[in-house]
Structure 1
Amino acid sequence: MSFDPSNIQAIGIGVTAFLATLVATFVIISSKKNKVGRALIIMLLTVVWWAWFGFLYHIFDYIPVARAIRLLSVLGITAISVSFITFASVYLEEKKALKKRERVILISLQAVGALLAIFLFADIFIQEGYIVGALDFAPKEALAPNAGPLLLILIGHFVFCILFGGYLLALRAGLETDIRRRREAIIILLSTTGGLILGGTRFAPWYGVDFAPFLGGLAVPLFTVGIFYIMAVYGAFNVRLVTAEFLIFSIWTFMFFRTLMNSDFVSAIPDIIVLVVIIVTGIFLIRSVLKEVESRVEVERVLKELASLNLGLERRVSERTKEFLRAGEHVKTIVENLPIGLIEVSNGKVLRRANRVASNLLNFNRDTKLGVVLTSKEGALWTVVERALGHNINYQAMDILIERPEHRDLEVITAPLVAEQGEPGFIILIRDVTQEKELNRAKNEFLTIAAHKLRTPITALSWALFTLSEGRVGELTKKQKEIVAETGKRAEIITDLINGFLLAAEMSSRKFMVRREMGDVGELLSKAVEQTRLLYDKNINCIVSIADDIPKIAIDPGKLSLAFKNILSNSFIYTPSGGTISVSAERKGSKILIQVGDTGIGISKNEEDILFQKFSRGREAARIYTEGSGLGLFITKQIIEAHSGRIFITSKKGKGTTVTVELPE
């Protein structure tokens, strides 16, 4: 084995092999995770294969070995053809999938390449091979062995691969809409395809024609331009490593040429050892620099992300702050324009907020009172705050009367205000109900006067009917007795209605009182059932169950009997003939439980809440019994609650109603 430094072709191929190896090394380091990068690595490795065996062919003098090396070099040409079309297909599929016809051509060319490789391996053992024939002279005298009968097929396969790969690259360029990306695709197309076409001219010496050798010399640099451009486009060549890579490449290139300049292999051994050591050291150096650069890049990326996140966070904080400010102004505007008074007070009775209506109602200056601890000197404001905070904070309304600056009836609702920061406090809502109270007083006075005016003639009518029914003015006929009895019932209903008006007026004026004495609730309920049953002569099955162990408790017999009659009257009125009313009373723990159930018309769910309000009646009840006043259950509830009890209703429309009363022992 010997090397002739004057052999320019051998030097060129050697330099190509050396540079291809270096480029492949750095592409492997930088782009093995990228799909296009992996295809590029495979193509570079085939170039490395072809170049090194092409170089070795020129330095071996022993003809059989030289021929075998040439066979392996030609195998590299076939591999370059297949790797080129594979790279082109991967590059195109970044934009679009291959069509079925294109994929068939790709697979066919790859299969032909594999078949040619088999023939090339077989040629190693055959002197006159199928593709590569015999080598008649040493490489110094013969540029190539004789051409085998199938070499033209290999050349044809090479040409078809160049054409098909160029076609795929052209398709990719045509798909690019961005001008810069299209320019990149065109440069890759021209450099790689052009380099391979020029390299194909070196098949001429196989047929004894050394046609334009300089064209073959242009193939390597042109193809190299394409490779480096692909590396640049896909980031395979790290710009941050350019200085280190250029320095190391320079040292490697110098040592490589120094090695080639030796006259024989023995004298080149020391330089070869130094070259190998420098290459290994350089690779480790570049890898360490690459890791450092990647670390810096990662740090820069993280810093950029943090800066971006910080910027986004600042922007969001600014937006949320503006939203909060807008929301605060919105709430402030709403509070200020509420038709009722609103004040906010801390637990330490510091006035935090007050709207215009509150300051007008309570006659204080907000500008001087906000942030000030309230005292008894504040007049009406102090009265409201003191009473509101002393009241049970349960969102229920309470009435407060103030005399200064003028007489006002106020309805006050207090709600706790929980603060995440700072001292908690209360919101106090104030509504001026002076006019409502005046209207209620006027209405109650009217009801009282009207009831009293009606009571006198009704009482006289009732006495006259009683006199007639007793026969004191003569015996009545059966028909006359029925008329008197029916008129008496009507008079009694009117009397109860008048009493109801008077009682409702008394309750509304806060003058309602119960006068308690020890009484038997069970007996009182039993008498109310009998009296009501006689009053409403209907075919109704009335079931009464009153326990014997009910104790006597402190009650107002007259008012509690009225409450029972009101409940029973509703059951008799709204239960059709043939229906059932069940009345029960029992001792349950420390309470007396009374229930009146019926199979009447029932009450809809949305009407249950209004039944205990004054003058309120259900739609169906008003249609069936037009004479009702809507006061019965209102009066009943007031009487039961005055006895410290409670009353509630469960009902289902069309099925019936159950009224439950609980009285404490």
Structure 2
Amino acid sequence: MGLHFNPADIQSIGIGLAAFLATVLAVFIFISARHERLGRPMWITLAVASVWAWFGFLYHLVPGLELARDMRVVSVTGIVWLAMSQLYFAGVYLGERVQYGKLVQRMQLAVYSFGAFLTALLVADLFGTRLIVGDLLLPADVALAPMAGPLLGVLIGYYVVCTIFSGTLLAWRARAGVDSSDRNQALALFISMTVGLTLGGTRFTPWYGFDFYPLVGDIGFPLFVFATFYSIERYHLLNREVAAAQLFIFTLWTLSFFRFLLDTSGQAMLVDGGFFLAALVLGVFLLRSVVMEAKAQRELAAVAVERTKSEFITIAAHQLRTPVAALRWSFNLLSEGREQLSEKQRALVDKGNRAADNMMHLVNDLLDMGHIAEGRFTYTFAEGNLGETIRAEAGLFEDIAKQKNVALDVRIADDLPAIRFDGNRLNLAIQNLVDNAVKYTASGGRVTVAAERSGEGVRITVQDTGIGFTPDEKSRVFEKFFRGSRAVHMSPDGSGLGLFIAKTVVEGHGGRLAFSTEEGKGARFTISLPAKPPATP
């Protein structure tokens, strides 16, 4: 006896559609966004939802009471995993804005551990224990669920705890939004996920003799609506440029899928099954080509904008350099006759000197960035005394460090190998790293500059006990114009170009600039230089 399917069974059609949409979305997000911070928990959630929905769908199709019961056991396992994956997603989403403590992490671990325990009980149910899922006494088209096992109430309680826990984390994330748009997006996720999970709890009512579940339909839909719209917003799966093509393809897939399911004759099923597979394959290729075309157009537009910005910045920096140099000369002239100035006037001159130096530093950073963007940031390599170069560049910040009560420790190994480097360019990288370390280290802290042999090359480290970077800021440390929120608060006059330029210089030497950091405890930047730079940097 083969599979049976009753087209009038709205419940079966609904859960089948949910399973199909969950699978399609999971595949799309896995392909396009699995490497993003939220991409992994998103596609895991949809993959788990697919397990729940497909086996719930098969419960209504397969012949035999025992096989139908097994399908329901796997479906219930999917519900446990769905609760865990939603909590996982909520935790990662909250982590975008909030660094929550060990208590919350321990609570999450406890919830995951208990979910693993329930999974083990459900696996045992597949082998006849009946602890959570009891016997199925009537056919699946009559009984919406098997009998409730003695521990089903424990599983329901676990589901409720996960719903409350994930809802709390999402509400916390909504409160921590950086602006109204971010808060509204988080609030929409909070409402859709919490409502979806709450309504999903109605799936348990038939187990206790109440047929409330069919009245609210297949409750996976709110979750898939949430996933769909969130995917549209965050990953641009249905971007505006190709919305019509994607809407057509999704509609074609859905119609061909259910035409295949509703066929009653073997010959018709074969034809419609072939049509569905053809629509699936051709749709994927069509979507991929259209999306790639749209992406290429956006990249070309971005390149044009970037070139225009670079040209503007270079021209502006050149125009600023002369008046800023004159301003510095004026303050230096006043400083030479500071004995004739009052204490208040000397303080104003010193303040003006610092401001002029900062402006010149900014102008030089902008010019360097412009040269990098235009491909005119060239190198002249020669063999030199790298240890003395590092010591001299670090020494430029001794007075500033003393004024801030920051210990500046320079440690140069005696066995540094002779390497070829561009002194002017490498000086720039070391200056930027030491400048940041001293600038963002509070009074009483320490900055350590060290150099040691690393094979035939040299390893330079700049380590501080300053403010460090938050987990969300780590991926953007070397971006142009990026500055951490605490860095902006501590020193508002930075350009956000120092680390970008330092990384460019190091890579121009054929080296690598890496870092490690812990928020509130400092950062460690490591320059690894080879013995010989590339022939054409």
Query: TM above 0.5, one fold?
Result: yes
Q: Aligned pair 1:26/2:22, yes or no?
A: no
Aligned AA for 2:223?
A: F
Higher RCO (CA 8 Å, separation ≥ 6 residues): 2
1:3/1:262 contact within 8 Å kept:
no
Q: CA deviation at 1:319?
A: 4.0
Q: Deviations over 1:39-74 (max 9, x none)?
A: 111111111111111111111122222111111111
> What pairs up with 1:591-610 in 2 under 5 angstroms?
none
CA–CA distance in structure 1, aligned partners of residues 73 and 324 of structure 2: 78
> What pairs up with 1:65-80 in 2 under 5 angstroms?
65-80=67-82
Q: Deviations over 1:319-364 (max 9, x none)?
A: 458889x89xx9xxxxxxxxxxxxxxxxxxxxxxxxxxxxxxxxxx
CA–CA distance in structure 2, aligned partners of residues 129 and 266 of structure 1: 40
Aligned to 1:226: 226
Q: CA deviation at 1:168?
A: 0.6
Indicate the SS of the match to 2:314.
helix
Q: Deviations over 1:399-431 (max 9, x none)?
A: xxxxxxxxxxxxxxxxxxxxxxxxxxxxxxxxx
Indicate the SS of the match to 2:4.
coil
1:46/1:76 contact within 8 Å kept:
yes
Structure 1 runs not aligned, ≥5 long: 331-665
CA–CA distance in structure 1, aligned partners of residues 48 and 242 of structure 2: 25
Aligned to 1:47: 49
Aligned to 1:526: none
Aligned to 1:251: 252
Q: Deviations over 1:124-173 (max 9, x none)?
A: 121x5111111112211111111111111111111110000001111111
Q: Deviations over 1:72-98 (max 9, x none)?
A: 111110110000000000011111222
CA–CA distance in structure 1, aligned partners of residues 174 and 234 of structure 2: 16
1:202/1:216 contact within 8 Å kept:
no
1:259/1:272 contact within 8 Å kept:
yes
Aligned to 1:202: 203
2:204/2:213 contact within 8 Å kept:
no
How has the CA–CA distance of structure 1 residues 110 and 249 changed in structure 2, closer, same or farther, with 3 Å as cutoff?
A: same
Indicate the SS of the match to 1:60.
coil
CA–CA distance in structure 1, aligned partners of residues 5 and 210 of structure 2: 24
Aligned AA for 1:43?
A: T
Indicate the SS of the match to 2:38.
helix
CA–CA distance in structure 2, aligned partners of residues 19 and 314 of structure 1: 53
2:136/2:147 contact within 8 Å kept:
yes
CA RMSD of aligned residues (A): 2.2
Structure 2 runs not aligned, ≥5 long: 331-537
2:14/2:217 contact within 8 Å kept:
no
Aligned to 2:96: 94
Q: CA deviation at 1:264?
A: 5.7
1:27/1:236 contact within 8 Å kept:
no
How has the CA–CA distance of structure 1 residues 108 and 187 changed in structure 2, closer, same or farther, with 3 Å as cutoff?
A: same
- Return the TM-score normalized by structure 1: 0.47
CA–CA distance in structure 2, aligned partners of residues 117 and 251 of structure 1: 37
Q: CA deviation at 1:102?
A: 1.2
Q: CA deviation at 1:292?
A: 2.6
2:21/2:224 contact within 8 Å kept:
no
Aligned residues with identical type, % of pairs: 38
How has the CA–CA distance of structure 1 residues 41 and 197 changed in structure 2, closer, same or farther, with 3 Å as cutoff?
A: same
Aligned to 1:333: none
Indicate the SS of the match to 1:237.
coil
Q: CA deviation at 1:4?
A: 0.9
CA–CA distance in structure 2, aligned partners of residues 66 and 116 of structure 1: 20
Aligned to 1:188: 189
1:89/1:98 contact within 8 Å kept:
no
> What pairs up with 1:351-390 in 2 under 5 angstroms?
none
Aligned to 1:103: 105
How has the CA–CA distance of structure 1 residues 143 and 184 changed in structure 2, closer, same or farther, with 3 Å as cutoff?
A: same
> What pairs up with 1:342-491 in 2 under 5 angstroms?
none
Aligned AA for 1:205?
A: P
1:174/1:182 contact within 8 Å kept:
yes
Q: CA deviation at 1:317?
A: 4.1
1:24/1:41 contact within 8 Å kept:
yes
How has the CA–CA distance of structure 1 residues 250 and 212 changed in structure 2, closer, same or farther, with 3 Å as cutoff?
A: closer
How has the CA–CA distance of structure 1 residues 137 and 310 changed in structure 2, closer, same or farther, with 3 Å as cutoff?
A: same
Aligned to 1:583: none
Q: Which of 1 and 2 has greater Rg? A: 1
Aligned to 1:130: 131
How has the CA–CA distance of structure 1 residues 98 and 319 changed in structure 2, closer, same or farther, with 3 Å as cutoff?
A: closer
Aligned AA for 1:153?
A: V
CA–CA distance in structure 2, aligned partners of residues 123 and 236 of structure 1: 42
Indicate the SS of the match to 1:95.
coil
Aligned to 2:39: 37
Indicate the SS of the match to 2:21.
helix
